[in-house]
Amino acid sequence: MRQLAGVVAILIGLASVWVYGCAAAETPPQGRVREAIVGLPCEGCEAVFEGLPATLETDARIGRQDEPGQPLRIVGTVFDSAGHPASGVIVYAYQTNSRGVYPPDDRYRGLAAYHHGLLRGWATTDAEGRYSFTTIRPGGYPDSDLPAHVHMHVIEVGRCTYYIDDILFEDDPRLTKEKKAALILGRGGSGLVVPKPDSAGAWVVRRDIHLGKNIPGYPVRAQQPVPADGASHRR
């Protein structure tokens, strides 16, 4: 998983590039300006733009409607740094199938999105900051003790993009105390969720997102100037 790999890379002293700010935007062939990546180095983060639909919905689907597995609904609200609901934010998610595999998408062979597989999707937040995904519960990697997870990214349109903590499932037997300590970093808030069944038998989890929280190099918005005399506008 990204977080664990990033920690290991730092500990063993691998050279890495830290990207700060949102100044270095890139214009892809289709003409849309790509928001710059902020935070820790992130292998394959450019995949958030590869296949990005021109039109987005608040309620999106990850993968095919007939994808085998236990049905899962991911719901959440995105909040800005002041704690207000943030509209128009793009949430990107990708995951393994029920067998713990990322089925490759041959349309993106040679690109980062190829490794993100077929189970990926984008949602945009509504006026109340809400978003949701319909998908299946991911499987854990075969021959691995890493817990099952859903990768999450945020695109703050016209500003920047970054990955946030993966969704991790509290009822996953692989999610030990040690794994929690290593994988829950609080990027964009905690990704630890408690699955609950709904009336139709699908699992439902809530993953709220706090923009910029624990994201290194996150650009701070300029504050409103304070009057020189310190006076307020009280009547």
Residues 6+ apart with CB under 8 A from 177: none
Q: How many residues does the chain have?
A: 235
Pick from 40, 85, 89: which is nearest to 215 by CA?
40
Evaluate if residue 164 carries a pLDDT over 60: yes
Confidence of residue 38 (pLDDT cuts 50, 70, 90): very high
How many helices (H) and strands (E) the chain has is answered by 3, 12
Tokens of 49: 């733009």
CATH number of 2-210: 2.60.130.10
pTM of the model: 0.83
Output the average pLDDT for the chain.
Answer: 86
Torsion, CA 67, CA 112, CA 54, CA 60, rounded to 10: 30
| Tens digits of residue pLDDT in 47-87 | 999 999 999 999 999 999 999 999 999 999 999 999 999 99
pLDDT, mean of residues 24-51: 76
Every domain of the chain and the residues it spans:
2-210
| CA distance between the termini of the chain | 55
| Tens digits of residue pLDDT in 111-149 | 999 999 999 999 999 999 999 999 999 999 999 999 999
